[in-house]
Structure 1
Amino acid sequence: MDLKEIQLVGFKSFADKTSIRFEEGVTCIVGPNGCGKSNVADAVRWVLGEQSAKTLRGSNMQDVIFSGSEKRNPQSFCEVTLVFDNTKGLFKVDAAEVAMTRRLYRSGESKYLLNNQPSRLKDLVALFHGIGLGKEGYSIIGQGKVEQIMNARPEDRRLIFEEATGLMVFKSRKQEIERKIADSNDNLFIYRQRIDEAQRRLGPLGKQAEAAKEYNEYSESLKTYEANTYIYRYENAENEKSKFKKDIAVISDKIIDLNTAIERINRKLDDNREKINFADGKLTELNDKRVELSVGNERKDGERKLVQERIKTYRSQIEAATEMLAAAKTRIGEIDDEIALTGKKHAENVKRIAEIETQTEVLRSAIAALDKKIEVFEKLSDENRMNQLSSADDLSELKKNLGTLAARVEATKDRITELETAIARTNERKERLQSELAMVRKDMKSLKEFTSSGMREFEEKQEEAREMQLTINDFNQELFSANGQIASLKDNLEMYISLKNRFEGYKESVRRLLSVAKTNTEVGKHLHGALADIVATDQRYETAIETAIGGAMQNVVTPTADDARYLIEYLKRTGGGIVTFLPVASMRPRPDSREIRRALDERGAMGLATELVKYDDYYYNVISNLLGNTLVCDNIANATTIAKKYGNLFKIVTLDGDTIATGGSMTGGSRRKDTGSLLSNERKIQECKDNIAKKQKYIEKLKTAIAESEKARAEAEAAVDSLREKYQDANSEIAGLMQRETALTQQIAETENDAATYGEALNELRAKFEQLKSEEANSSLSEEQIALRRRDAETEMANQKSQCDTFKEERAEKSKLLRETEIEYTALCSAVEKYTETQERLQAEKEELVKRILDTEYEQTEAQTRLIGLEEEAQEKQLTEEERAAVAAIVEEIGALTAEKEKVNAEQLALEEEKTSLQETLTKQSDKRYKCEIEISKIDTNLENARLRMEEAYEMDYESCLSLRKEDFNIADATNMITVLKRKITNLGPVNPNAVEEYEYEKTHCDEMITQRDDLQKAIDDLQSALDEIRAEMLRIFNEGFDQINENFKVTFKELFGGGKAELQINYDEEGVDPLAAGVEIVACPPGKKLTKISLLSGGERALTAIAILFAILRSHPMPFCILDEIEAALDDANVDRFASYLKRFSEETQFIVITHRKPTMNQADSLFGVTMQEKGVSKIVSVKLAEVESRLGAGTVE
């Protein structure tokens, strides 16, 4: 078998489709470094199954695809095909030629083809291993492989020889068996764990099964005894009742006699009552008459006494009035005296106040006049003092300046002339600047008029842009707030959905069942969910509806009763607890009554519970059964009124959760404020979703509004920029003109200031000039005149000071008198005010006394008149003798009737005592009869209870109980046994009724797992045996092949080195080393050297030794082809010649493809391929058949 051809497309540097056809013998591939010749070996290695990108000199497998160049784009895939000659049938393929292809895409997809048919890498590798080829072996040998043989650890070096001896297939099978053993051991471990777990469960389950068996035995015995007890009571009930019925008949006769006697006494009592009633009526009539007479007499006597009391009262009033009038008149006289005295003092004080006011005004005027005089004299004194000082200064100055006065006059005259000239020049300059300023202001005015309209437009656009930005800011703030609200709503939504998915709020058994139903479709198909999941209502009705439904909110709704039964069995089987089910098909609706319909019109009625909930019509039976005939009311007060009016014929719940049940019982009170409820959770989820949707729509509107506002702002800003640029030059020009205006104005102001300054200075100089002239004229004043003037001033100052001091003393006296007068004035004003108040109070008191005197005199006259009338009336109220006699006769008749009534009452009392005795006897007899009736009722009740017990517990009636009848039944023993059996059942505690079945199921399951474990253990033992056989066979094959290679190595070594000796050694002697992993040592002795390990040889010697090993392998197991990639690079020229010659000899049995740089190797080639890179990054092939060249040029010319 030969490698006929290799085809490359897009592999590494072979961008174009390249085909290399190989002939028999030695083929050399040559070319400069970096041209891509080693890529040919990489391509063969890749098709042989290499999976390591690093081995293929890349970082990942996609690196083998052509990555592009300066002129070419990267390719999307690469493909390499190896074409083999299979005429000898080495490949187990029915074809004379075998093409093996590997293709890789940049996406990572890989394909393998065998003769253009899809295949697996595993299948291709198996084909190669079958003929000794492989990516790990010596079918491809590079310089790295030679170095690996030289430098590898002995254990790693063994791989070369395993490949050469054909152990790779066995090794793959060995690894596969070891993997199966490992997997089987893992499974065995799992089975053992499961068996241990099952056996741990079997212990408690066995006890439960025993308890269940005992429970079943006790239950069967209890069933038998209770059935026989029921039969006994059923058959003996009439006999027991007949005895009590006879007693009831006897007692009934006695009761009839007693009732007759009581009736007779009742008639006698009724007669006596009539007599007593007649006597009572007569006595009442007499008593009324007596009372009437007595009352009339007593009233008349009382009226007389009352009149006498009133007479006494009026006399007391008259006396008191007389005393009061005397006291009042005396007090009026005293008040008149006080008023006269107070009026006198008041007039004196008023007069004095007027005098003081006049005196105060005079004093104030005098003080003001004195203040003015003092001020005048102080000023005169100050002026004289200043004149005195001035005279002294003048005298000194006069002496000092007399010498220079003439010079100053001339200098002032010259300065006046200069100032007049400067003022003229300044006025001329001012006129010129004012003319220029007028021109500037004219230009500036025209520019301002030109820009004013544009500036208004600019400000309008700028304001529009600013408003748009504020609007955008507001929208962004709202957007931020809305996003925050959405985030909060989403958090709440996740929380509520999490609560719903975890079935929070449900009891454990319901939560576990609903959780299983979510993942177990077999369980889930039998239920619709919890009742809380299929009903909904408005938020305001949630508390009322939850209260009305109660614990049924956690009930699970199923389609049918069979589904409920299935789920109950499942709960029993898994220990899932107790759950109540509501089968839709089995539930019966509860219709609303006519009364509850009428109650809807009552005050506070909100509606029917069935109409206030939302649900699918499919669940009508369930909802009607739970909420039928239930009214929702607003509060407990209205609910109580409705319930009372309709006689508690229906259930009422309030919005606060208070309840009035049918029959009248009431439930209510305070409720804990929970964070949520089963009914509200779904609503909150929907509310969150709705709010999120609303917020998202609102956000979209905000985004649209923001975009529109941004567009409007951008347009306004563009207009602002345009206007700003348009009028910027004009504003700059105006600014320049304004600066010029300011400068001109300032210059004009400066000239005006200069002119004013010059003018003031000129006026001052002229005045000074005149003054100097005057001083010069008056300079003849002598010093004696100045001294005389000073003395006169001092005298005048002394007179003025004396006069001023006199005025000050006078002012102080008048000020003191003024203060004293003001104090007296204040005291007098206070006294006047007090006298006025006293007079007003006394006058009011006097007026009140006068009024009281008049009233009292009138009342005294009236009392005197009434007193006379009352004395006459008292005389008329005296009782007569006839009136007293009539009263005495009536009293006597009343006494006689009372005695007769007491006699009848005594007889009545005796009859009542007799009646009471008879009634007690009747009560006792009635009690006896009632007890008998109770016993009969007990017999019926016990019989009914026994029937219900048999029916409910065992679903048996009397007829079916007969099958369990015992002939030797004893009711007392049966009763004791029933008690004992029930106690035993109770003592067993909770019993798993399915324990026996579960135990059998677990036991069977455990036995099956033990069988499977044993089978698995047997399979592991069989695999271990097969592994041992393969290992033995591998060891045998390896040893035989290794011995042969070793012998060949001794020969090839001598031939390549021209002498010496060498051998291969296996390290079987090392302790604990697996024979199949023992390392291979190379011991060599080149000519003229001692026997030593290969590591101690020179580089060239080691390389040639490694090559000798390769030839020894090829001698033992000739290969169809072998690729050598620069393995002779480390050899010197002499050794390369020997290597090339030896290679040529081996080419008769093996096809060699040699990648090389060395000429001796090229000289031995039958075909020569050159790899070039005419285009940077792209490899090309040039082929030469040397035999044809030699035939044309002559032997020996090729070199």
Structure 2
Amino acid sequence: MVYIKKMVMHGFKSFAKRTEVFFDKGINVILGPNGSGKSNISDSLCFVLGRLSIKSMRAAKARNLLFMGSKYIKPAKEASVEITFDNSDRAFAIEKNEITLKRVVRSNGQGIYKINDETKTRLEVIEMLAQAGIDPYGFNLILQGQIQSIVKMHPEDRRKIIEEVAGISIYESRKEKSLKELEKTEEKLKEIGAILRERTAYLRNLDRERSQALRFKELEQIMRRCKASIIQKKTHEKEKEIANIDKSINEKGEYKEKNKEEINKIQQELEKYSERINEITKKIQQATGLEQETLHTNIANLKAELEGLRVRLENYENKKAEISRRMTEMERSIPSLEEEIRELKDESPLVAQKSQELKKKKEEMTKLEEERKRVLALKTELHSVKERIKDKERQLSRASLTSENLLKQLEEYTMDLTYENDKSCADSIISLRQSTISYKVQLSEIAQRELEKEKAISVAQSEIQKSEKVKKDVESMDVCPLCKSQITKEHIDHVNSDATSKIELAKSSISSAMQNLSEIREKIKTIQISLQNTEKKISVAEIELVKHKSAAEKKEQLKKMVEEERMLKDEILTLENKRKQLEEKTLDVSKIEEKYDQTILEIEEISSRTAEDVDTTLLYKERDLENIRSIIKRSTRDHGEVSQQIEELQASMKEKKHRLQEKESQEQDLQTRFKKMFEERENIQKQIQEKNLKLSEVQSGLRAIEEQINYLKIGKAKIDAEHEALQMEYTEFSEVEIIQGSISFLEEKLQKTQETLQQIGSINMRALEVYKEVKKEYDIVQEKVNTLDKEKQDIVAIISEIDNKKRRSFMKTYRAMNALFSENFSKLYSKGTAFLELENEEDLFSGGVNIVVKLAKSKYFDVTSLSGGEQTLVALSLLFAIQEYKPYHFYVFDEIDAALDKRNSERLAGLLNQYMKSGQYIVITHNDAIILNSHLLYGVSMHDGVSKVLSLNIKDSIPQEYLQPEKKPEQMPQAYLQKATEESLKREIAEHAKEEIAYNVAPLANETIEESIREEEVKDNMSSNNANQETTGD
């Protein structure tokens, strides 16, 4: 267990000289008259532990902590307190059995902390003390007049005491750290949230453009699928047609081969028949020569000629009869027609003129029709050009709208940009981050320099102290400790000069170091401000970098859209020129149409007038008459020619018949001679005729089949070409999914898809590619947000868990302390009970803790209405409850029993004796019972404004029979106790007086040491002589 072994005070308040106080592990009691400086010991303990509140140490300002001077002693230039802790159990993380802590304050307000003679900062001291659970503001330090403040304190402050005892401060520090982390996380969330909102807005616009592009792409894909499906369907149909044609060609080819075989067979048979006929003819010729053959040939020729003449004669006769019939009919119609013409001539003499006019109009109308067709073709072409212009203008409008949107977005992105481009922005971020690293390195280096300067100042101050001490000590020395020679005035002057030069040098060093330290701290502040500004600039630059990237993408899109607009404008300009040319060519179309319509009207008018008028009828009648007469003339001529030809044919037939008869008579003679051979030959010739007829039929069929095959091949070639074209067209859609359905269904779907595509406005196809990149960046930012949000939730969960642990720890401590508090109060005060009560049990930390006291007759009292002694008992009960629940290493009680009577003081002494095993007690008191139960007594006296401490081992000064456990404090005679104490103190005072006289040799040079001792012995009442130091002591 850590305890205080020793405390050294020098120049602190009334302790002008170096004063050492050794403490025991048990109860250490400090006593002395009022104004002797007892409470200055507790103040010095608070001072060395690192308290900053000067008023809590009963001083108005830091200078008042220094010894103010007396009749014989000068004011102190600095005050120091040094405390030594036992570290046997290594409560402090230092591998030494003793830890020395020292604090110095100078008249200029400068303070120095040291641990084992090494200069440290206050923070380092506080951290070291915290390792052993020592707090300079802890509840183990109860200074003068503070005991009742525990009772009178606000309930919330009382609750904080329980929190501290419960160790909730660790939860509070964790919670504070978690809250700082939560604040940082929320700040990061705000920063990234701003980026995310900007990205979200941009992504939302891109998503709309992407949806339109996807819809456009989907429709295009549907259109491609429809086209691919239609092409595939048509391809399959063509393949089926080709297959059918191939089948037909194959079938007809087989039939053709059969016909060829049959033709070959017939030709072979004909060859056999011809050979046989040749044999028969050869035999006949050998027998009759060529006569029979020639005769037979002549007969056959004559028969053929007669048959031809007969057919011709029959035709001529029919023709002659027809001519005669027609001539009869026309001759019958002439008289009536001539009569009608005569009548019409009498009525209209202008027929010829109107007929000529009508003929001209018709010729004119023919020319107009050709011109009209040409102009209509131009108009059709003009309409097509206009439609194309409209389509291009729509495309241009969409492109312009897209460009405007892109330009607006670009303006939004480039607004308030401080960097020229993303490269400069990225370079700036890299540079700023390097600057941040540089600033942090500089801060680290400067912090090291600051620590070195502080150490240098501390070393210089220590050197000044040593030099001053040397100057003081050398005057009181007779022999030099180094050279062992007698100290002379020159020796003293030399030492003083050397010490003065060292002091001046140290002061100069301190001044320079302080100036450098001020400059370093100012530089640290400047660098920290620069670091904060740089981090802000990095955050702004990162956001701007995102804008630059977005702007660059928009610029690229805008560039493409501008190029597309330029191309569209060029196309529109070309089409406009063509339109103007066509419009110039079709300027007269209205005139042509008007003239054409006018001509039609004129023709209709003339036609209607000639139809209604007699002239047209007369013209037609005359034409009919002329035609009839012309026909009659031709018919008469033809009739004569036909009659002559009939006569010639009849004469020729007669002559042929006569010759035939002659030939047949000659043939009859020959046939009689070669009858059998002629019959055989005739039979063969009949068979040849039949075979030739059959051959002709087969060859005709063969030619028909060949024509059909050729036709099929031509059709197949055409279909093959179409099929190949479809296949070539289908290569564009080779990977497209096919839609099932009929061609009509697919064509209808294709038409609807094309119409929908035309209705869609401007499309930014670039959005598909940009969306992926932006979505990727968005997902990264979103992931960061999710991570930060998860971190935030984790931190909130940690805070909630800390609050729960804090509540559980608090309630556990509260219940235990409440029980201990009630038990201690019952031990100290038998007339009642006391307990702690929470103001708000639902929300523990929004309310405080009240102390409820129940006295006789079941009456409850507020602690503020109790007497001073009762309040002290309540406060002590709470303090000892804290001690039992969470023991401190040591306690300092300054007159906590001032308001207690003898009986309650004895009870308090009993409690102190009970708890002394768990802690060290330093008690400032006037109470006999507590003095009797102590291990060490320290008497504090004051002479000429200077306090002195005298120690007394009470066990050695009091008879053993009064120190037995069964002996009660009140059984010891008060007079004996007072006498033993005074005698012991007088002996100590005498010893100290000798030292005081030896130390002040200079001012007391005319007095002897023995006289000083007698004078000190005469002064039996130290407190009355030092009444003027009342305020300084307490």
TM interval, shorter chain, is 0.3 to 0.5
Q: TM-score, normalised by structure 2?
A: 0.38
TM superposition score normalised by structure 1? 0.33
